[in-house]
């Protein structure tokens, strides 16, 4: 019985070693009898829409050692210290540690260093290509492009989101060694080639990106603001042409030693952060009312509706006021077009309450509020939208003019683009193509329609009104003679701990051109400007300057008629 038990025990152990443990033992043996030199894959490049290099690679090497194969640790440390410019004591400690099969002596060193290392032929020391990621324009679009970690893998931005394409696959060279890791004389090497990563072509146009950064940089400085942001997109397909987040940082000099600062500077706030949009949201409210009117909904206020001259509305125990008395201190009757020109809150309270919660929320859902836009970027915020079931009249009234709702700048830009482009809501995109360096396209991001929001007739009517805002109303500082610019200003108070923060505002403007066939849309946000804080005086001029710059860059002709 005992003999049978022992036989079964030995048989079981034999089976475990030969079958179950086989792969691990094979790996341990291979590791013990071979020396692997990594062959790093070249990381794919990142280009703008016109082929301008935004992220590339610079030749560099990493130096390794096998302590067991180093004959004289102290002597090797002394020699290597002069070559690698690393303290001798540090190298001596590493080369004396026999517990590790492979040790990194120096990362990301230049070609001259490894050439000298090759001449010295230090026993047990070798090197492998390990390029450095470089960004030719430093701070340009830094939050969009993102950066890589020390080991070269994508961490943030496009570098992180598309890392599986950019990274490629590393290879290696295997040399046979003896038990302590010394190369066997006459042994052959096995070579597993690396597969370089694919390159990415963005929708970002570096010319527009650079222009927008210059304009917003001046606005940030002139207003002593906390931050200045801008997004420029093409309303015909929602491709993002520029994203500006200031202040920014240099991708070639990442402040990794201060993680709090790095997180703040590297965050693409246009995608990840939210804010109360204020009066720019009145575009959405107007679109919903016009569309319902065209559909014959009796609750919608007709286009020729004249809003009461009263400058206040009382809703649910709260009083909502107009920001200003018009025309010599008297608040006059207004049409919808005039209400947009004057940015009169009570008029949009009337619209929201007339449409009712159910209908208004159908449009909020159609315009993607409370959900992601679907952009190819990590960390997108879905905003903050009260559940329909708990919304009361005073909540609905405030949503109508852009309060009691928080959106990401990207959400608002896309919603406005859809409201004025004929009612087409596309998935916004930052990447146009993924391709290999031989030019063959592996993936192409096509325009993707997510839903219809309003009719083309609604867009036409709304655009006509918003063109009037720029021509005659609060958006005058975005006006460009001979070009049909349309848009809407916004000035929103900020909240801290549930209360209005005195003296803190978000100034904004969203505009586009040509009004009859939108091709360029810009959302401008200046956070906490000092002195003048109205969107009409702080943000609208930035849009006008960006649009004028685009006109000059693209040599766009004046509008006809």
Q: What is residue 406's DSSP assignment? A: B
Angle, CA 99 vertex, CA 94 and CA 104 arms, to 5°: 40
> Dihedral sign, CA of 259, 497, 268, 479?
negative
DSSP strands (E only) in 88-192: 103-109, 125-129, 132-134, 171-176, 189-192
Structure letter (DSSP) for residue 301? P
CA 202, 207, 212, 214 dihedral sign is positive
Rounded CA separation 393/397 (Å): 6
Give catalytic residues, as residue numbers: 279
Q: Where are the alpha helices (DSSP H) in 275-323?
A: 282-294
Residue 106, both tokens:
């120096």
Please give the torsion angle defined by the CA atoms of residues 525, 526, 527 and 531, in that order, rounded to the nearest 10 degrees. Answer: -150
- Contact between 386 and 406 under an 8 Å Cβ cutoff? The reply is no
From the list 139, 133, 125, the residue with the least C-alpha distance to 108 is 133
How many Å separate Cα 376 from the centre of its chain?
A: 8
Within 10 A of 68 (CB to CB), how many other CB atoms are there?
A: 19
Question: CB neighbours of 112 closer than 8 A, spacing ≥ 6?
Answer: none
Token pair, residue 506, equals: 């978000």
Q: Is the dihedral of CA 85, 87, 91, 94 positive or negative?
A: negative
Is 490 within 8 Å of 510 (Cβ atoms)? yes
The dihedral sign for the CA sequence 420, 422, 427, 429: negative
Cross-strand bridge partners of residue 134: 56
Dihedral (CA of 213, 214, 217, 218) sign: negative
Quick check: helix, strand or coil at residue 333? coil
Residue 263 CB neighbour total at 10 angstroms: 10
């Amino acid at each position: 019985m005992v003999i049978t038990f022992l036989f079964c025990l030995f048989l079981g152990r034999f089976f475990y070693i030969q079958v179950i443990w086989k792969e691990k033992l094979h790996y341990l043996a291979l590791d013990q009898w071979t020396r692997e030199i990594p062959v790093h894959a070249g990381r794919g490049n990142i280009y703008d829409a016109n082929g301008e290099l935004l992220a590339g690679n610079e030749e560099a090497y990493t130096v390794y050692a096998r302590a067991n194969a180093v004959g004289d640790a102290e002597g090797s440390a002394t020699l290597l210290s002069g070559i690698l410019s690393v303290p001798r004591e540090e190298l001596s400690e590493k080369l004396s540690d026999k517990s590790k099969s492979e040790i990194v002596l120096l990362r990301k060193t230049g070609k001259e260093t490894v050439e000298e290392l090759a001449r010295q032929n230090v026993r047990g020391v070798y090197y492998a290509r390990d390029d450095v990621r470089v960004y030719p324009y430093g701070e340009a679009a830094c939050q969009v492009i993102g950066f890589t970690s020390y080991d070269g893998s994508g961490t943030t931005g496009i570098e992180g989101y598309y890392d599986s394409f950019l990274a490629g696959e590393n290879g290696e060279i295997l040399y046979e060694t003896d038990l302590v890791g010394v190369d066997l004389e006459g042994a052959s090497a096995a070579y597993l080639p690396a597969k370089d990563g694919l390159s990415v072509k963005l929708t970002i146009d570096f010319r527009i990106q650079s222009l927008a950064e210059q304009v917003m940089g001046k606005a940030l400085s002139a207003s002593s603001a906390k931050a200045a942001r801008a997004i420029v997109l093409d309303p015909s397909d929602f491709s993002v042409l520029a994203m500006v987040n200031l202040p920014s940082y240099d991708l070639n000099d990442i402040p990794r030693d201060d993680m709090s600062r790095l997180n703040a500077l590297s965050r693409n706030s246009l995608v990840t952060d939210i804010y109360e949009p204020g009066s720019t949201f009145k575009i959405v409210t107007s679109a919903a009312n016009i569309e319902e009117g065209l559909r014959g909904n009796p609750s919608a206020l007709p286009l020729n509706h004249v809003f009461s001259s009263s400058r206040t509305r009382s809703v649910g125990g709260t009083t909502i006021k107009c920001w200003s008395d018009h025309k010599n201190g008297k608040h006059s009757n207004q049409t919808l077009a005039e209400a947009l020109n004057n940015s009169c809150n009570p008029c949009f309270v009337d619209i929201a309450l007339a449409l009712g919660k159910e209908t208004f929320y159908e449009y909020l859902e159609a315009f993607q509020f409370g959900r992601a836009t679907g952009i190819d970027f990590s960390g997108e915020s879905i905003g903050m939208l009260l559940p329909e079931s708990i919304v009361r009249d005073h909540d609905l009234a405030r949503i109508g003019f852009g309060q009691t709702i928080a959106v990401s700048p990207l959400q608002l830009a896309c919603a406005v683009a859809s409201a004025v482009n004929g009612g087409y809501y596309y998935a916004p995109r930052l990447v146009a193509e993924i391709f290999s360096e031989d030019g063959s396209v592996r993936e192409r991001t096509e325009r993707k329609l997510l839903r219809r929001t309003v009719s083309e007739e609604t867009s036409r009517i709304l655009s006509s009104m918003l063109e009037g805002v720029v021509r005659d109303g609060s958006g005058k500082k975005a006006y460009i003679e001979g070009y049909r610019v349309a848009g809407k200003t916004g000035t929103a108070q900020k909240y801290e701990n549930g209360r209005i923060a005195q003296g803190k505002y978000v100034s904004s403007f969203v505009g586009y051109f040509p009004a009859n066939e939108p091709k360029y849309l810009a959302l401008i946000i200046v956070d906490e400007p000092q002195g003048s804080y109205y969107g009409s005086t702080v943000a609208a001029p930035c849009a006008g300057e960006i649009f004028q710059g685009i006109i000059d860059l693209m040599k766009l002709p004046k509008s006809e008629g």
